[in-house]
């Protein structure tokens, strides 16, 4: 049986499984930590690429990502501090500077993880300091039941991993800088790529980039 340990998050005693990631332990106990690249039901080691899940760990000199911090007995965590809030705000603004903001017409409106983070940390969805760099890429509705708007992609990689798990494996990352995006091999449409239409990608997407129409 998995060993149980006791940790403290924001002054609250939590029982967690030794070795599980702190982000998972916090979420399972109703403590919200912003996150995008670590997927909901996914287990294992996330890519730690979104840099939104920073927390303070007692005894450590700098904030660390909660999604890659294994839980050990006696861990003392603060989910908020000036440093953490600053890192999350900066990372979030960077993401939003490359995200086409159209909440009113977005299928994820109301369930979007970006909206949730903005609300939890009192952040603006619209960047204040950075210019918005729109990718200006075509929307792909070539597979029935799936719409892919790459202009809303936040590069969390959850769809790529879901697509691999489903067995299709047609999604991957391409390009660099603000043009980096999830696409298919050779930049073909989903229909041309060998996509089976399972919609696992849309279910995994935490924003409105990949959505289901049925």
What residues make contact with ligand FES under the rule CB under 6 A?
A: 35-38, 46, 48-53, 65, 67
Q: How far, in Å, CA of 192 to CA of 104, rounded?
A: 30
Q: Are 140 and 148 in contact (CB under 8 A)?
A: yes
The distance of closest approach from Cβ of residue 176 to ligand FES in the complex, given in angstroms and rounded to an integer, is: 20
Instruction: Supply the minimum distance, in Å, between the C-beta of residue 47 and ligand FES.
Output: 7
DSSP state of 21: B
Q: Please give the Cα distance from 164 to 49 (Å, whole number).
A: 18
Name which of 37 and 163 has its Cβ closer to ligand FES.
37
Q: Which helix (H) or strand (E) holds 171?
A: strand 171-174
Residue with smallest beta-carbon separation from ligand FES: 67
Q: Using CA atoms, how far apart are residues 6 and 64, in angstroms rounded to an integer?
A: 19
Instruction: Specify the residue, 4 or 60, whose C-beta has the smaller distance to ligand FES.
Output: 60
Q: Are strands 76-78 and 4-9 parallel, antiparallel or unpaired?
A: parallel
Comparing CB distances to ligand FES, the nearer of 51 and 199 is: 51
We find the least distance from the C-beta atom of residue 70 to ligand FES, in angstroms, to be: 13
The least CB distance from residue 6 to ligand FES, in Å, is: 23
Minimum distance of ligand FES from residue 102's CB (angstroms): 24
Nearest to ligand FES of 206, 208 (CB atom): 206
Residues 6+ apart with CB under 8 A from 174: 180, 181, 182, 183, 187
Q: CA-CA distance, 122 to 66, in Å (whole number)? A: 20
* Cβ distance to ligand FES smaller for residue 157 or 193: 157
How far apart CA 59 and CA 158 sit, in angstroms, is 32
Instruction: Quote the least distance from Cβ 65 to ligand FES, whole Å.
Output: 4
- In terms of CB distance, is 50 or 202 closer to ligand FES? 50
């Amino acid at each position: 049986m998995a060993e149980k340990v006791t940790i403290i998050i924001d002054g609250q005693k939590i029982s967690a499984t030794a070795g599980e990631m702190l982000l998972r332990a916090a979420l399972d106990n109703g403590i919200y930590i912003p996150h995008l690249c670590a997927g909901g039901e996914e287990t294992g080691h996330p890519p730690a690429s979104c840099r939104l899940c920073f927390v303070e760990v007692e005894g450590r000199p700098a904030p660390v990502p909660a999604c890659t911090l294994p839980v050990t007995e006696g861990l003392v965590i603060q989910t908020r501090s000036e440093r953490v809030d600053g890192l999350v705000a900066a990372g979030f603004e960077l993401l939003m500077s490359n995200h086409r903001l159209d909440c009113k017409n977005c299928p994820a409106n109301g369930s979007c993880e970006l909206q949730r983070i903005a609300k939890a940390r009192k952040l603006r969805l619209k960047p204040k300091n950075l210019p918005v760099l729109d990718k200006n890429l075509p929307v792909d509705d070539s597979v029935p039941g799936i719409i892919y708007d790459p202009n809303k992609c936040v590069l969390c990689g959850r769809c790529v991993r879901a697509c691999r798990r489903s067995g299709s494996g047609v999604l991957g990352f391409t390009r660099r800088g603000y043009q980096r995006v999830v696409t298919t091999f050779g930049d073909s449409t989903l229909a041309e790529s060998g996509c089976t239409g399972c919609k696992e990608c849309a279910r995994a997407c935490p924003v409105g980039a990949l959505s289901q129409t049925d």
